[in-house]
Chain A
Amino acid sequence: MLSTLYHRLPGPKAARITMLAAMAVVLLTLVIWSYEILGDLLDSGGTVGE
């Protein structure tokens, strides 16, 4: 899956790796952000009226 994506990306090898790394960072950020939002449903910190 990762190699398919790599081969579909345009440009030289270094540019493709950079693009893959950037995509991974964006994906990880989105995943952690979604974990934080979903986490509030489990435990929001216990504040009252905030």
Chain B
Amino acid sequence: MIRGTGWIFIWFGVYLIGFVAYQLWFTNLLTARDQSALAAGLDAHYEEVVVEEVEYVPVPGGTTSTTVPSPEPIPDPVPRILLVEAESEVGEAFGQIRIPAIDLDVTMVEGVRRRDLKKGPGHLTGSPLPGQPGNAVVSGHRTTYGAPFGDLGGLETGARIEVETALGVHVYEVREAPERCRTDDGLCVVKPTDLWVTEPREGAWLTLTTCHPKFSASRRLIVFAELVAGPNAEVILGT
């Protein structure tokens, strides 16, 4: 009886050690392999992707689409031409995200399904692509699968985020956390069900989401960044 109980504890210990090794080591290997493959195919994607020019009609309160006519468009005597790229298939690479402040340089995929995020940060399908007007949402792992957003909590206001897509490099700057989600240390932390962070916004924004705190999926850490330069920046910002 005692011997049997001892074996149960031993096997449970082996199981737990295996779990830690799998999460903190093996998942990183899987993601590194996927990242190499994705990065290798990115140049071909840039050449193949369809890029269109569409007239940009800003809508008060923000929009996720530039092609849907607004019932009350803001009058604009000079047409503003926006470059729009076709969305990739879910699970495929579409660009790279670089954040020098946290030494991040990874390939992003379309979609936020479990299997998409194992490859790298994923773009929320349905939200605008980075470099487009509205709120582009990108999610990523914080502690496992390469932990691309592991150091997201260390980003300070004004930090530069570069997102490269088929259109070119879109430069964003991190903005201060909104009051409604700001913690004592200046981070924006919300519940996983707080959908307001993904809602359309006026201008062009990049919203990065990841788990919080580290080693827990109970909350979400959110970083909001605003477009400041890039192929569409002048058109969107009206400068």
Chain A interfacial positions (CB closer than 8 Å to B): 31-32, 35, 38-50
Given contacts A35-B23, A48-B195, contact A43 B139 (CB under 8 A): no
Which residues in A have their C-beta under 8 angstroms from that of B235? none
Distance between Cα atoms of A39 and B149 in the complex (Å): 16
Given contacts A45-B112, A46-B149, A46-B210, contact A39 B144 (CB under 8 A): yes
Which residues in A have their C-beta under 8 angstroms from that of B217? 40-44
The contact sample of 15 A-B pairs, CB cut-off 8 A, is A35-B19, A35-B22, A38-B19, A43-B23, A43-B217, A45-B112, A45-B114, A45-B122, A46-B117, A46-B141, A46-B149, A46-B209, A47-B124, A48-B137, A48-B190
Which residues in A have their C-beta under 8 angstroms from that of B140? 45-46
Count of inter-chain pairs, beta carbons less than 8 A: 84
Which residues in A have their C-beta under 8 angstroms from that of B112? 45, 47, 50
Which of chain B's residues 1-52 have a Cβ closer than 8 Å to chain A?
15, 18-19, 22-23, 27
Could you say which of A31, A39, A48, A50 contacts B194, with CB atoms under 8 Å apart? A48
Could you say which of A39, A47, A48 contacts B27, with CB atoms under 8 Å apart? A39
**A48 and B209 contacting across the interface, CB-CB below 8 Å:** yes
- Which chain B residue shows the least CB distance to A42? B215
Say how far B223's CB is from chain A's closest CB, in angstroms.
11
Say how far A38's CB is from chain B's closest CB, in angstroms.
6
**B211 and A46 contacting across the interface, CB-CB below 8 Å:** yes
B67 within 8 A of A: no
Could you say which of A38, A40, A42, A49 contacts B198, with CB atoms under 8 Å apart? A49
B100 within 8 A of A: no
- Which chain B residue shows the least CB distance to A46? B210
**A48 and B142 contacting across the interface, CB-CB below 8 Å:** no
B220 within 8 A of A: yes
Say how far A35's CB is from chain B's closest CB, in angstroms.
5
Could you say which of B142, B193, B194 contacts A46, with CB atoms under 8 Å apart? B142
